[in-house]
Amino acid sequence: MLNNSGLQPVEYKILIEPNEVEETTASGIVLSKSITEKERQSQVKGKLIAVGGNAFEDWAGEVPKVGDGVYFAKYAGYVIKGNDDKEYRLANDKDISALVING
């Protein structure tokens, strides 16, 4: 998995790219910018993009790897914009709640 963000976490930090938020409903209604922005900020599923050098060193069981789908704490870390103009979540490794298996 290529990290185009220009960001490399350090220590126990991880970089997550939240999944895209739908801008229209299933019935075709276009959602306002404020609603989609709130959804983007509270997104809890994404892809692990990069990890700091000490991330996951004291984990038991399966360790998340770059490219894995993850669920993370709703307001974990903070939103940061990468060099590619995408928004990422920079958080602690402990903010991952679950790995996405086969999905």
DSSP string for residues in 25-66: -TT-PBPPHHHHHHHHHT--EEEEEEE-TTTTTT--SPPP-T
Q: What is the pLDDT of residue 90?
A: 97
User: What pTM was computed for the model?
Assistant: 0.79
Sign of CA dihedral 60, 91, 21, 43: positive
Question: Would you kindly state where each structural domain of the chain is located, as residue ranges?
Answer: 13-99
Identify the CATH homologous superfamily for domain 13-99: GroES chaperonin (2.30.33.40)
Query: What average pLDDT values come out for the chain (103 residues) when binned by 10 residues?
Result: 90 92 65 61 83 93 92 90 95 93 73
